[in-house]
Amino acid sequence: MKNAKTFGALTHGCRVSDSVLARWTQEMTALQHICVGIEKFFGVDLTSSDQHLKISDSRVQRDNDDCRKMDFNAESSVFIIDGGYLLHRVIWNRVSTFSSICDNYVTYVRTKCKSTALVIFNGYPENETIGGTKSAERARKTRKQMSSEVMFDETMIPKVSQEKFLTNPKNKDRLISILMNKFSSLNIACMKADEDADC
């Protein structure tokens, strides 16, 4: 019944009417034999365990205490930065050149992250039909709203807003290439995935 009460599940953030609740609970019992069949077929048991039932304050406190006991060395850790996030996180000055914009990205990475940061960018393949789900989603968004392709170098000032500029995958790919050259020359580790860096 908890699933019926949680925000966004059955209620979609609203109150539950009696008819909706009745329909939902009747469907649960009507489909129970299918759930049991799936459990038998895969050899799993989908019942709640003690771990899930005991979420009391004392249990949470014990878990927090256990986490504090773990040996974690922040000095030897590597900070992985999502390049897609980074592209949108640093706000461009309207009258800055692309070189100056790239310098702002360098400053952001150096001030917000340790020297062990690794920036990983998504790749933008030429043929979007070859890629997987990420390419298909990117193509769908591109058809929805896309700026024109901008031929630029480091000395130019962007003529369109940052948001519009980054909606074009070719613009984004060219900017990533310039950024990677800048990062590499300053010994900031960076990589570019073939397609989706999250995979």
More confident residue, 174 or 50: 174
Neighbours of 170 (CB within 10 A): 14
pLDDT at 5 over 50: no
Give the pLDDT confidence score for residue 6 in this predicted structure: 46
Cα atoms in the 13 Å half-sphere on the side-chain side of 39:
10
Concatenating the DSSP letter of every residue in 53-96 gives H---HHHHHHHHHHHHHS---GGG--EEEEHHHHHHHSPPPTT-
The pair of three-digit structure tokens given for residue 51, joined into one six-digit string: 């771990």
Taking residues 45-60, what's their average pLDDT?
67
pTM: 0.58
For residue 191, give the 3-state DSSP assignment: strand
The pLDDT tens digits of the residues spanning 111-152 come to 888 777 889 888 776 665 566 666 666 666 666 667 788 888
Q: What is the mean pLDDT of the chain?
A: 77
- Angle of CA points 116, 169, 113, to nearest 5°: 15
